Structure 1
Amino acid sequence: MPTVEACEAAQTCWFTCRAAALGGQTWSDGPLLWVREGDEQNLMFPQRIPADAVVRGVERARETGVRIIGAWLGTEVDTSALAAAGFERGWEPWWMTAAVADVGAFGAPGTSGAPGYPVDPRIELQQDTVDYTGEHAAYRDTLKVARVRPQHSWYAAAYDDRGSRNGRRFAGRAWSHLSGETAGVFDMVVWPRFQRRGLGSGLLRAVVAAAATAGAGNAVLNATPEGKLLYESCGFRQIGAGITWWLHLDQRL
């Protein structure tokens, strides 16, 4: 089964591949690996954090219009340089893993539940979408990541028509990303009014199944307390925890 280090590597791969596909940047400064995408910049799992490199990273963020900087860390890392730069401690990622075979993502060959296809008919794997409008319209651009070839990222959307007279309603989304033989699951959400209808498990199984067709044998994710019970019901177990630190530049201009 994957280690915490493999979970961290999968998340780093996801961030750097997104940046490459969406016009962001990735760079190193000594032991620090930074990734910028849009108005967010992230520091990815350093083992040590030199104060001068943090200052340079924050200065670069200000120069490029970044509004928020996140630092993803193991719990044993000295964070004094982040605190000195104004970062504040945030939420704890709970690292969870599962064997693909335990997630329940597959049906019989030749059916809609075959590897790479959602078992739940309310779930669709997509490479483009018209679901995002108004203030959320820019999210459609992120689906460029699903169109990179060879494909390493998969996007699934959930729909629900319960109680609706106007057809199906967009209810949630999830991503998976292949890093080596590990499928990382990211950005999974079911909008509150559609929760407790089985859509979360459907999304999870769909994106894990899609990554399995490209060679994933295990899946990893970081959970919040709200999501942990769902992931456990789909075969995941917690193997460790991390910590995040955050700096909101729009509040310090």
Structure 2
Amino acid sequence: MDEQDDRQGDQRNIVSVCERAQTAWFTARAEHLGGEVWTDGPLTWVDGPDGLNLMFPEQIDSDALQRGIERARSAEHELIGAWLSHETDASALIGAGFERGWAPWWMSASIDDIDTAEDPRVHVGVHPDDRSDEKSHERYDKLLQLADAAPDRAFYAGVRVDGVLAGHAWAYVDGDVAGIFDLDVWPPFRRRGLGAALLHSVAGAARERGARTAVLSTSPQGAIVYRAQHFNRVGMAQTWWLHI
């Protein structure tokens, strides 16, 4: 029983690291890109490029929740997101009209276990061509600004095939932990090893910046890919959404 308790405790600790990395990423984007971060009792709100998000409260105070919703209405937001630990009671969200969203799987790996060999198809850092290719997506263009502003912690990787942008990823280093975010390869370029190449490159860049552990959230389908790269599933989260 003691060994089982120890394993469960270790798993909870890793999940808390995943939640910390997600919160740090959302916070950095808000602070560098003209957004806002505030706390109201037990609630931490982040208003950034993806709109307003409630980040991993242990408990949800209904009055504080309503104040956040009213603030979102005043700012003319159309959507509020809430990220919760798997065990957190979401009844206050349900009472406020939130609807259940996807359930992210948390995964973690030691960076020493990840192949971090450089791939000539991948470049880490913002290039002029990236700005041109990403500019049609306002959110991505703003993230490139963050990569420029804090290259020691936030960085972008793009992968190209015959000079054409085929996918991208972001990472954010918080102490010895690197969160990997929005890793994606466009459909016409999939099944060529480009996703693995992106992952290897951002993991290598994160190690150069002092990270020893990589964490990410994914779907059950995506987990199959990351398991092949030495990531292990460590827990789950809840997401909830309110259209206002």
TM-score, scaled relative to structure 2: 0.90
Equivalent positions of 1:67-216 (< 5 A) are: 67-106=78-117, 119-128=118-127, 129=130, 130-134=132-136, 136-137=137-138, 139-149=140-150, 151-161=152-162, 168-216=163-211
Matched with 1:240 is: 235
Contact 2:106 2:216 survives alignment (8 Å):
yes
Displacement after TM superposition at 1:137 (Å):
4.7
RMSD of equivalent CA atoms: 1.6
Matched with 1:35 is: 46
Matched with 1:115 is: none
CA distance in 2, matches of 1:202, 1:65: 40
Matched with 2:214 is: 219
Question: What code does the residue aligned with 1:34 have?
Answer: W
Contact 1:172 1:189 survives alignment (8 Å):
yes
Of Structure 1 and Structure 2, the greater helix share is in 2
CA distance in 2, matches of 1:31, 1:237: 30
Secondary structure at 1:78 match in 2: coil
Secondary structure at 2:76 match in 1: coil
Corresponding position: 1:16 with 2:17? no
Contact 1:132 1:138 survives alignment (8 Å):
no
Matched with 2:58 is: 47
Q: Deviations over 1:99-147 (max 9, x none)?
A: 00111114xxxxxxxxxxxx1111111225221244x255222112112
CA distance in 1, matches of 2:214, 2:140: 24
Question: What code does the residue aligned with 1:123 have?
Answer: V
Question: What code does the residue aligned with 1:174 have?
Answer: A
Question: What code does the residue aligned with 2:60 have?
Answer: I
Question: What code does the residue aligned with 2:99 have?
Answer: E
CA distance in 1, matches of 2:139, 2:41: 33
Q: Can you give the 5+ residue segments of structure 1 that lack an aligned partner in the other structure? A: 107-118, 162-167
Q: Can you give the 5+ residue segments of structure 2 that lack an aligned partner in the other structure? A: 1-9
Displacement after TM superposition at 1:39 (Å):
5.7
Displacement after TM superposition at 1:212 (Å):
0.8
CA distance in 1, matches of 2:150, 2:121: 26
Secondary structure at 1:66 match in 2: coil
Q: Deviations over 1:63-107 (max 9, x none)?
A: 11222211111111111110111110011110100000111114x
Contact 1:44 1:73 survives alignment (8 Å):
yes
Q: Deviations over 1:2-23 (max 9, x none)?
A: 6100010011011101111111
Contact 2:50 2:139 survives alignment (8 Å):
no
CA distance in 2, matches of 1:127, 1:151: 13
Contact 1:39 1:66 survives alignment (8 Å):
no
Matched with 2:74 is: 63
Runs of 4+ in 1 over 4 A off after TM superposition: none
Displacement after TM superposition at 1:154 (Å):
1.1
CA distance in 1, matches of 2:240, 2:107: 20
% identical aligned pairs: 47
Contact 1:39 1:68 survives alignment (8 Å):
no
Q: Deviations over 1:191-231 (max 9, x none)?
A: 11211111101111111111111100110001112311111
Matched with 1:111 is: none
CA distance in 2, matches of 1:89, 1:181: 32
TM-score, scaled relative to structure 1: 0.86
Displacement after TM superposition at 1:43 (Å):
0.5
Question: What code does the residue aligned with 1:132 have?
Answer: E
